[in-house]
Amino acid sequence: MTADTGAVSSRMQNTIVHHPEQEGNRVVRLKSSDHSPIKRMLEDHGHTLPSETVDKAMTRERVQKRVAEAVRGLDRQTVEKLSDFTKVVPDARLVTLEVESTSFDIKSDGEFKGRANLLVRVPFEGFGGKRASTLASLAIPTYVQGSVSDTGVSVQQILIRD
């Protein structure tokens, strides 16, 4: 094994640790296998960090969570009005709106798009055409569109996916 190969494998064992409190300086500490910290300044070449900020106060992940919470918190009448799911599934009753915060793409102007599932209960017919006494569950995939600002989250549309 040559000295160069040893140096490369030594570098490959390093762990990169990002310190968000030093975001302005873009400081990354490299911890080597002997745990001695080495500071290196990184220039910003247009690459985005996982904790890229939408504004100065909130990270992208926190904004996504805020949007997801607002969508989950919509009342039944608002969801029914925005999605109009009863045209697709007559006699359906909304149970809940299933939302993953990571499904939302938030643009720099505050506009967002994401996915959600409307979980509904529907009556169904059993064998022989008789209406069953129990209800079936159904997930209706949707797209959610809206905007987020300092004052709050506004959901403009819930579109049922084809």
Interval 18-36: pLDDT, tens: 444 444 433 333 333 444 3
Domain map (residue ranges) of the chain: 3-41, 60-160
Ramachandran angles phi, psi of 55, nearest 5°: -135, -175
Mean pLDDT by 10 residues, the chain (162 residues): 38 41 39 38 32 54 92 91 87 90 92 94 78 81 92 91 74
**Model pTM?**
0.58
At 88-114, the pLDDT tens digits run 888 888 999 999 999 999 998 999 999
Tokens of 87: 């045209």
In the chain, alpha helices (H): 3-12, 60-72, 76-83
3-state DSSP assignment of residue 50 = coil
Tokens of 18: 């990002």
